[in-house]
């Protein structure tokens, strides 16, 4: 299981919604969901991810979605939950007019294998003893459009077909997971020898004090 510490920042000029966070120690699951529009949508998305992940841990359960052979079973379960959450938002909140969109990142850690699904922010980076590895990154629409304020480019609830980033990898003991919801990721971050929440926080503020962000750092709280 990974234990999350997190902080958020704004100077009051621009707004970035804070995420809904769910940690399930019993199933090794961590979900971070950020709602744009109706805030209730992020809670429903978290509930769907958790319910489907824990339901599909049983034997001989079928789903309406094909599994991806290139990733772990846990990553497939996270993906199925995200696809169902997308359908629920699209057919519920956004059935007639657009009301809600949810950026999502969900993770599972067991026996040294990290599995994830992501769309939108936060960006996912894995820190081992030597390197900081980007796992999943979404370019914010604010950067693409030349707008300094944050604006998501991909999220649950926008379309039937969504570009989920799904993956799994084996990670060394003591590895950390860095999560950043921000317009951009500064290069100075990759020069840090160690990851401390306050130090990363200051790097992001110094890079652009006008840019709001949410920052999370997940540690393994026991060897898996």
**pLDDT band at 199; cut points 50, 70, 90:** very high
- Provide the H-helix boundaries in 27-175: 40-55, 73-91, 141-145
Beta bridge partners of 109: 114
Domain boundaries, the chain: 2-220
- CATH superfamily, domain 2-220, is PPM-type phosphatase domain (3.60.40.10)
**pLDDT band at 224; cut points 50, 70, 90:** very low
Q: What does pTM read for this prediction?
A: 0.92
CB atoms within 10 A of CB 220: 18
**pLDDT band at 138; cut points 50, 70, 90:** confident
pLDDT one-digit tens code per residue, 16-61: 999 999 999 888 999 999 999 888 999 999 999 999 999 887 655 5
Question: Parallel, antiparallel, or unpaired: how do β-strands 2-9 and 213-220 relate?
Answer: antiparallel
Q: In degrees, to the nearest 5, what angle opens at C-alpha 221 toward C-alphas 179 and 189?
A: 30
């Amino acid at each position: 299981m990974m234990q999350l510490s997190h902080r958020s920042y704004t100077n009051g000029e621009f707004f970035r919604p804070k995420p809904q966070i769910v940690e399930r120690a019993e199933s090794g699951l961590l979900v971070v969901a950020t709602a744009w529009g109706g805030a209730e949508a992020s809670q429903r998305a978290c509930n769907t991810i958790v319910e489907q992940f824990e339901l599909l841990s049983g034997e001989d359960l079928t789903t309406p979605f094909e599994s991806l052979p290139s990733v772990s079973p846990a990553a497939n379960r996270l993906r199925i939950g995200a696809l169902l959450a997308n359908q629920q938002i699209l057919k519920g909140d956004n059935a007639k007019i657009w009301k809600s969109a949810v950026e999502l990142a969900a993770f599972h850690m067991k026996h040294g294998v990290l599995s994830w699904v992501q769309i939108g922010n936060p960006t996912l980076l894995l820190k081992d003893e030597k390197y900081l590895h980007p796992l999943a990154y979404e370019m914010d629409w604010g950067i693409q459009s030349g707008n300094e304020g944050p604006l998501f480019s991909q999220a649950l609830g926008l379309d039937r077909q969504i570009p989920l980033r799904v993956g799994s990898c084996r990670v060394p003991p003591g590895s950390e997971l860095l999560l950043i919801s921000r317009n951009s990721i500064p290069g100075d971050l990759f020069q840090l020898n160690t990851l401390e929440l306050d130090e990363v926080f200051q790097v992001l503020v110094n890079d652009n004090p006008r840019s709001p962000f949410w920052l999370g750092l997940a540690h393994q709280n026991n060897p898996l």
